[in-house]
A and B are shown apart, each in its own frame.
Chain A
Amino acid sequence: MDVLPNEEEQMVKNLAREFLEAECPPRLARDMEKDDLGYPPELWKQLADLGWLGISLPERYGGQGLPLTYLGLITEELGRAIAPVPFHSTMVAALTIAEAGSDAQKQDLLPRVGRGELVLTWAYSEENPRLLPETVQCQAVEDGDNFILTGTKMFVDNFVAAEKCLVACRTAPASGANAGISLLLVDAGSTGVSQIPLTTLAKDKQSKVIFDGVRVPRSSLVGELHQGWPIAQGMLDRGTALLCAQMVGAARKDAEMGIDYAKNRVAFGRPIAAFQSIQHICADMILWVDGGQLLTYEALWKMDQGLPASMEVSQAKSFCNDKCEAVVRSSQVLHGGMGFMMEFDLHLWYRRVTAWSMRLGTSFEHRSRIARGLLDQPGRVRLGMNLELPA
């Protein structure tokens, strides 16, 4: 039992921070909001050279095979730096391929991901964005050696930058045997694929993606036909835990900016940091970020150990949604009017953390999962026990 990063983990985290402080200033995030691609390819190449893109991918496919917690720490630091790179979307898809893909798919794709030559994304949400099996309506119909994919995906991250997109689609109606969902890795440039950019609070690159009779070769099926829901659930859980790490990193930096500002801003003849009302806001900010961080680390650690972690993931995301949001809002309040000014950097963090709180599950969705785990199966509960979600 040691809930804090060990020396090696801390070293990886520190090195990531040093690199990003030198190479990824807020200016970059600001510039990329107006960029068509949304990320600077030079920085992406640097991340590959540092080994970050393969850090938790298997060694036999060119990765470093380190525990998911390491990927979480890197993601946390990328969040801290609000680094405008398609890291989260690429990792979520790549980890899913590493888990469920065929050997040929892994051979073909994962080394390229690690070298920074392949940007990926994934698409689950549709018009009803809830992350449940029944919300998947995109249809893939078998046609010889192909599937014909038709439907619309919403809120697809970095679609404009990605070469391939891992799409959850319906290949059969839900039955007692399975949810009838399959995962297809679709070339973003395929005939019949179009995207409409969404203008978002974070000014990031999200798209509504329309698949209109898109031909997808059978070799692009990731995992077994109709058996995609458990894989997708694992993908969503991992993606959610990593997004929490990103939120925690960004929220802590945002809190630190608020605290620094309070120490320097003079009012009524003293720095406002000398007022207890301000001090107590700052103390709460740190409590909240710490709480989110601990929940996130536990979720990542459990996943890495192969333990059931859906409850822990939902705990982390629900808490981060509410509390990281409270942190960045509090920091805005500490900054007064300055935080509202476009030229001042604080909003870069505020808008992102706020937007991330709506992605990969709202607080209500996650708490509804937790309630299922607590209440919809027999047996007394006790804090610290391993709890699985009932089927």
Chain B
Amino acid sequence: MDFAYTPEQEALRDNVRTFIQENVSDEVRQEIEDLGIRRRGPKVRELYAKLGERGWVGISWPREYGGQDGSRIDQYIVEEEFARAGITVGGAGSGAPAILAAGTEEQKKYFLPGLINGEISFALGFTEPQAGADLASLQCRAVRDGDEYVINGQKMFTTAAHYASHIYLMARTDPEAPKHRGISIFLIPMDTEGITVRPLWTIQNEPQAPAGTTYGDARTNEVFFEDVRVPTSCLLGEENMGWYVGAMGLNLDRVGASRYLISVQRDEDIVNYVKENDLGGMNLAEDTSVRDRIAELWIEAQVCRLMTMRSMSLVEKGGNFTYEGSAEKVFAPEHGVRTTETIAQILGPYAQLLNGSEDAVEEGVFAHNLMGSFQSGINHGSTQVMRDQIARRGLGMPRN
């Protein structure tokens, strides 16, 4: 057992913090605020290019594709510091783990450097109107036609579709096969003819949630595919094996700084807030009930941190996951909800004030979190599905 980072890793963390202080200017923050947390405008792109120069994106990826052959823990450290500054680096939705595992040489050489320099980003085209938790029942069709596939169908809740360069699309290639065995994955440029993106506005719209809000996105999308023709080189992995390619990516997608941080940042916020502010003379930091609940949340937050560290430790040892990724994906989001709801009871009516309101607390982040935090337990596999997986894969319990 070893619960410490190495001196080199501590130095890396210091470097990243210094870099953020020096390079994440008010203008960059303003751009992030204007465009949304994950969307990249010119200033953020410039920042991303500097990150690429320093080798801070895709640290654990192979050198030949622009990575550093470095440790996943180093990568985590960079992701954590940037996530705390409100900037997504790698993490959920990067698509890289699956490309590394299943991509052709050509795909790796094209996509990975692009992901590193920020020119490429993926929207995740998984969910459909009739296929959410039961993703394998998806209906979006891809039909082989010579050297091309022709795609028809609809995707739903495709958050990054209005700014991503590509979509990481799951489509059905064999409607006769059992549902898990007839799915393929395609990596398709968003500007391909026949793709239409329509906005879906979330309950975070108007006013815009402040940076760092758990699921603070004002906008997601539905994406329509009408006779979209793509070359067969867009196929990732083997035809009809997409379910298993996607699973590889998802499992690694759950490991990382962002999933953990979106569930625990409010824990730090509320401690620091009640320490530094005497909201309306309520004297919250001295209130015995408040102190007990804050301590309880803090303990759970530590469990979230340690479960993430456990996943990192497993990845470093070769990634033999049975249930640990799912465990993290149950505990952390549910904790995030408990924290958010507890804070509402600590701050009382102040916790309803949204961003921009008179007397809003911390730009209304606690109020906006009440609208977003439970999404974390729904996206990328609901906590119910995760519990099924823990029981079946981790504990060997039978399917009903």
Residues on the A chain within 8 Å of B309, using CB: 1, 3, 294
CA distance A282 to B272 in the complex (A): 36
Residues on B with beta carbons closer than 8 Å to the beta carbon of A375 = 271, 274-275, 285, 291, 294
* Residues of chain B contacted by A2 (CB below 8 angstroms): 1-2, 313, 316-317
**Which A226-268 residues have C-beta < 8 A from chain B?**
259, 262-263
B41 at interface by CB-CB < 8 Å: no
CB neighbours (8 Å) of B73 from chain A are 1
Cα–Cα distance between A284 and B330 once the two chains are bound (Å): 9
Minimum CB–CB distance for A379 against chain B, Å:
9
Contact indicator A294/B307 (Cβ below 8 Å)? yes
**Do A294 and B310 touch across chains, with their CB atoms under 8 A apart?**
yes
Is there a chain A Cβ closer than 8 Å to B223's Cβ?
A: no
> A335 on the interface (CB 8 Å rule)?
no
* Interface of B (DSSP majority class): helix
The answer to the question of B88 belonging to the interface, with a C-beta cut-off of 8 Å to chain A, is no
CB atoms of A315 and B387 under 8 A apart: no
Tell me the B278-302 residues at the A interface (CB within 8 Å): 285, 291-292, 294-296, 298-302
Q: Is the CB of B272 within 8 A of A1?
A: no
C-beta contact mask, B369-400 vs A, less than 8 Å → 1, else 0? 00000000000000010111011101111111
Given contacts A1-B312, A274-B397, A383-B305, contact A287 B299 (CB under 8 A): no
**B395 interface neighbour in A9, A283, A378, A384, Cβ under 8 Å:** A283
Bound CA span A290–B310, Å? 10
- B314 contacts A by Cβ under 8 Å: yes
The answer to whether A286 and B395 have CB atoms under 8 Å apart is yes
- Min CB–CB distance A361 → chain B (angstroms): 13
Check: A4 CB closer than 8 A to any chain B CB. Answer: yes
Segment with Cβ contacts to B, from A83-91, A149-157, A170-178, A295-303: A295-303
Is A6 an interface residue, CB under 8 A from the partner? yes
Q: Is the CB of A1 within 8 A of B3?
A: yes
Q: Which residues of B contact A282 (CB under 8 A)?
A: 390-391, 395, 397
A60 and B4 alpha carbons, distance in the complex (Å):
29
A283 to chain B, nearest CB (A): 4
What is the total number of residues of chain A having a CB less than 8 Å from a CB of chain B?
Answer: 51
Chain A residue at smallest Cβ distance from B389? A283
Please name the residue on chain A nearest to B299 by beta carbon.
A315
Q: Scan residues 11-66 of chain A and give those whose CB is less than 8 A from a CB of chain B.
A: none
Question: Chain A residue with minimal CB distance to B326?
Answer: A283
B301 touches A274 (CB 8 A): no
From A262, A284, A291, A383, B387 is in contact (CB under 8 Å) with: A284
- Do the beta carbons of B268 and A383 come within 8 Å of each other? yes
Q: How far is the CA of A278 from the CA of B399 in the complex (A)?
A: 12
- Alpha-carbon gap, A371 to B286, bound state (A): 10
Pairwise interchain contact B316-A368, C-beta atoms closer than 8 A: no
Smallest CB separation, A297 vs chain B (Å): 6
Q: Does B203 contact A (CB under 8 A)?
A: no
Q: In the complex, how many angstroms separate the beta carbon of B175 from the nearest chain A beta carbon?
A: 28
A240 to chain B, nearest CB (A): 14
How near does chain B come to A261, taking the closest CB pair, in angstroms? Answer: 12
**Residue ID in chain B nearest A4 by CB atoms:** B313
Q: Does B183 contact A (CB under 8 A)?
A: no
In the assembled complex, which residues on chain A have CB atoms less than 8 Å from the CB atom of B316? 1-2
Interface hub of A5, A259, A384 (most chain B Cβ within 10 A): A384
Tell me if B327 is interfacial: C-beta within 8 Å of chain A: yes
A274 to chain B, nearest CB (A): 4
Which residue of B1, B296, B323, B392 is within 8 Å of A5 (Cβ)?
A: B1
Asked if B323 and A279 sit within 8 Å, CB to CB, the answer is no
**Partner among A275, A279, A301, A383 whose Cβ is within 8 Å of the Cβ of B302:** A383
CB atoms of A1 and B2 under 8 A apart: yes
Interfacial residues, chain A to chain B (CB-CB below 8 A): 1-6, 9, 69, 259, 262-263, 270-271, 273-276, 278-280, 282-284, 286-287, 290-291, 294-295, 297-298, 301-302, 305, 315, 318-319, 364, 366-368, 370-371, 374-375, 378, 380-384
Please, could you name 5 A-B residue pairs with CB atoms under 8 Å apart, sorted by A?
A1-B9, A294-B303, A301-B2, A364-B292, A367-B299
Top 8 A-B residue pairs of the complex, sorted by shortest distance between their CB atoms: A279-B391, A367-B295, A371-B291, A294-B306, A370-B295, A283-B390, A291-B303, A283-B387
- New A-B pairs, 17, CB < 8 Å, besides A4-B310, A318-B299, A380-B272: A1-B5, A3-B313, A263-B397, A282-B397, A283-B391, A283-B395, A284-B387, A294-B309, A298-B3, A298-B302, A318-B296, A319-B299, A367-B295, A368-B295, A370-B295, A374-B295, A384-B305
